[in-house]
Amino acid sequence: MSEKVINDFSVTIATVNGSGSQTANVTLLRALFKMGIPVSGKNLFPSNIQGLPTWYTIRVSKDGFVARRDEQEVVVTLNPVSFARDLASVRPGGAFFYADDIRLPIARSDISVYPMPVKQMARAANVSPALRDYIANMVYVGILAQMLGIDLETIKQALSFHFKGKAQAIDSNFTTIKTAADWATQNLKKSDPYSVAQMDSTSGFVMADGNTAAALGAIYGGLQFAAWYPITPASTLAESLNVFLPQLRKTTDGKQTYAVLQAEDELAAVGMAIGAGWGGLRSMTSTSGPGISLMAEYAGLAYYAEVPVVIWDVQRIGPSTGLPTRTAQGDLTEAYFLSHGDKQNIILLPGSVQECFEFGWKALDLAEHLQAPVFVLSDLDLGMNQWMTKPFEYPDTPLERGKVLWEADLEKLNGVWGRYKDSDGDGIPFRTVPGNKHPSAAWFGRGTGHDENARYTEDANTWENNMARLKKKYDTARTLVPKPVIKAAKGATVGIIAYGSTEPAVEEALALLKQAGGPKTAFLRLRALPCTAEAQDFIKKYERIYIVEANRDGQLRQILSAVLPDQAHKFRSACHSDGLPLTAKWVKEAILAQEEK
């Protein structure tokens, strides 16, 4: 056996979709996390309910790198269909665990091979035949725990969390795990170098997914109305609203301060959210690319009639239906320009689960402050996978409700005001909302040409002045959106810009570049569009700027080239999109290859 490798490898588990392996996989992930080891888990699943191959990949990293890796040191397979491919994917020197009822050739002598009596143990387990497949997954949990050194106590904690403390479920699963672990002790001889050991690097973190975080953030942001239509990978965001709103936002007498509605399609979903936004409610919708496409016309209405609304796009790979269960950052240009006519939209780009929470409430603040649609672009990787994350932080600023005039305000103004008048010079007008009983409160909203008092007009100058004000308002947004996170490097001539879920890959790539003697590199993680002054300064500061993104076309590069044409010659794309989260190795190599040119 070669030298021991502790807390620094990847495990991939191949199963059949719909077989209940998710519980087993997340249990392993959580147990490792409880052992204090930095860890990440990514579900690479098919768009199917039952029967197709599915993989779950866990990375343990003593150094805290949690990006996906292509290399797999430990591979577990329960699936005859993917068996050959799984076997081939094990790194030389790695370990291969397989269900021993799969009788297929194993022609590799450079790895350790461990058969697992999965079927036999599942049959022996004291569960109903219906649960046998499910319990079979616990067999590999037990065997892996024994062979890698995962503490069974942490596994029990993970099970207890998963089954919400229900003793019977915890016990029956744990019994199988323990039996399997004992079997491994007696029957398997470890010949691979990979194992885990207790650390103390996860205290102060929790595990959560971005969609849950986004929903909670919105709830703490005073969300009052949400309309949505089911779509992977966004559905769990709205479903989390349904879970947490009743717990957090009912009055003592059980009444609701919110409404969530499943609409007939995304067009209606965004329409309802815009109607509610116009009515003065903190309002949002959540969807993925296909839904965003349907929302295009309405997004323009919200932009032009100046209605606050938050639109979450949990991106999956497109165009078209694409790969519904695979991740990408391919909707950036669409969201930025969504709808016809002149406009740019405000976009927030959360880069972590914690930030999904934070932008959950900030987006509602910005939408009401700016009276505009605010898009939040997450993705499948961030939204649906469990990540280590800093605990959610209570908002540090009160709800921002924007310039809303109520009866008393209008009284003070003697009823004199203009719905689309730029009275403060920031491009943001005042508004009133229905129910305001002051006789001069009402105005007539419209997507057609209007003057400062919301009256219909086709006057050329009025049109142009209003559009100029909207542009000014976008400049105000530039000063209000979250600023980028910048990691400076002394003497750097090269800058990297990335956003969203690629952050861990880029962070690790920085370390790899250093190891490889690559250029000194500064890193800016963009958190919003419009591009703030800080981001523009960063771009101006460096000779070359690599823009890392999980899409084919380098969409941020396209946008930044248009925003800063005199800087565009510096931009180099490191973009790649195959449905999987980017790896650090790929980022490093993409940058080095262009540096050599």
Partner 1 sequence: MTTPAPVQTNKAGLSKNDYRGLPSTLCQGCGHNSIANQIITACYDLNIVPEEIMKFSGIGCSSKSPAYFLNRSFGFNGLHGRMSSLATGALFADTTLRAIGISGDGDTASIGMGGFKHMVRRNAPIVYIVENNGVYGLTKGQFSATAEVGLNLKHQGTNQYMPVDICMEALASNATFVARSFAGDAKQVKELLKAALSHHGVAVLDIISPCVTFNNQEDATHSYTWGKDHEAPLHEISFIPALDEIELQGEFAEGTVREVSMHDGSTVLLKKLEKDYDPTSRANAFQMLESTQLNNWLVTGLLYINESKPTLTETFNLVDTPLNRLADPDLRPARETIEKINAMMF
For partner 1, which is the closer residue by CB, 68 or 431?
431
Per DSSP, the three-state class of 531 is coil
Closest distance to partner 1 from the beta carbon of 305 (Å):
8
Closest distance to partner 1 from the beta carbon of 466 (Å):
17
Q: Bridge-partner residues for 53, per DSSP?
A: 16
Closest distance to partner 1 from the beta carbon of 220 (Å):
6
Listed in sequence order, the residues at least 6 apart from 199 whose beta carbon sits closer than 8 Å to its beta carbon are 7, 35, 36, 37, 38, 62
For partner 1, which is the closer residue by CB, 234 or 276?
276
Biggest CA–CA distance in the chain, Å, is 88
Q: How many CB atoms lie within 10 A of CB 492?
A: 17
Closest distance to partner 1 from the beta carbon of 248 (Å):
4
Closest distance to partner 1 from the beta carbon of 212 (Å):
8
Residue 387: name the closest of 28, 39, 23 by CA.
Answer: 39
The two beta strands, 53-61 and 8-16, are: antiparallel
For partner 1, which is the closer residue by CB, 17 or 40?
40
Helix axes 152-162, 167-187, angle to 10 degrees: 150
The two beta strands, 225-228 and 283-287, are: parallel
Closest distance to partner 1 from the beta carbon of 284 (Å):
11
Residue 550: name the closest of 319, 327, 290 by CA.
Answer: 327
Distance CA 234, CA 313 (A): 7
Closest distance to partner 1 from the beta carbon of 271 (Å):
3
Distance CA 125, CA 113 (A): 25
Listed in sequence order, the residues at least 6 apart from 260 whose beta carbon sits closer than 8 Å to its beta carbon are 225, 226, 227, 228, 238, 241, 242, 245
Distance CA 514, CA 588 (A): 10
For partner 1, which is the closer residue by CB, 410 or 591?
410
Closest distance to partner 1 from the beta carbon of 346 (Å):
20
For partner 1, which is the closer residue by CB, 462 or 567?
462
For partner 1, which is the closer residue by CB, 298 or 474?
298
For partner 1, which is the closer residue by CB, 149 or 395?
395
Per-residue 3-state assignment (H helix, E strand, C coil) for 320-377: CCCECCCCCCCCHHHHHHCCCCCCCCEEECCCCHHHHHHHHHHHHHHHHHHCCEEEEE
Phi, psi values for residue 536, rounded to 5°: -65, -40
For partner 1, which is the closer residue by CB, 265 or 342?
265
Enumerate the H helices of 232-278 as residue ranges.
235-248, 266-278
For partner 1, which is the closer residue by CB, 225 or 417?
225
Closest distance to partner 1 from the beta carbon of 142 (Å):
20
For partner 1, which is the closer residue by CB, 359 or 538?
359
Residue 402: name the closest of 365, 363, 452 by CA.
Answer: 365
Closest distance to partner 1 from the beta carbon of 463 (Å):
17
Closest distance to partner 1 from the beta carbon of 89 (Å):
28
Closest distance to partner 1 from the beta carbon of 158 (Å):
7
For partner 1, which is the closer residue by CB, 290 or 554?
290
H or E element in which residue 143 lies:
helix 132-148
Phi, psi values for residue 140, rounded to 5°: -70, -25
Q: Bridge-partner residues for 546, per DSSP?
A: 496, 572
Listed in sequence order, the residues at least 6 apart from 382 whose beta carbon sits closer than 8 Å to its beta carbon are 209, 210, 314, 350, 352, 353, 356, 500, 501
Residue 417 CA: distances (Å) to CA of 279, 304, 309, 413: 18, 19, 23, 7
Closest distance to partner 1 from the beta carbon of 53 (Å):
27
* Token pair recorded at residue 114: 């461990």
For partner 1, which is the closer residue by CB, 19 or 157?
157
For partner 1, which is the closer residue by CB, 205 or 546?
205
Distance CA 236, CA 240 (A): 6
For partner 1, which is the closer residue by CB, 70 or 264?
264
Closest distance to partner 1 from the beta carbon of 364 (Å):
10
Phi, psi values for residue 435, rounded to 5°: 100, -20
Residue 98 CA: distances (Å) to CA of 102, 123, 140: 8, 17, 9
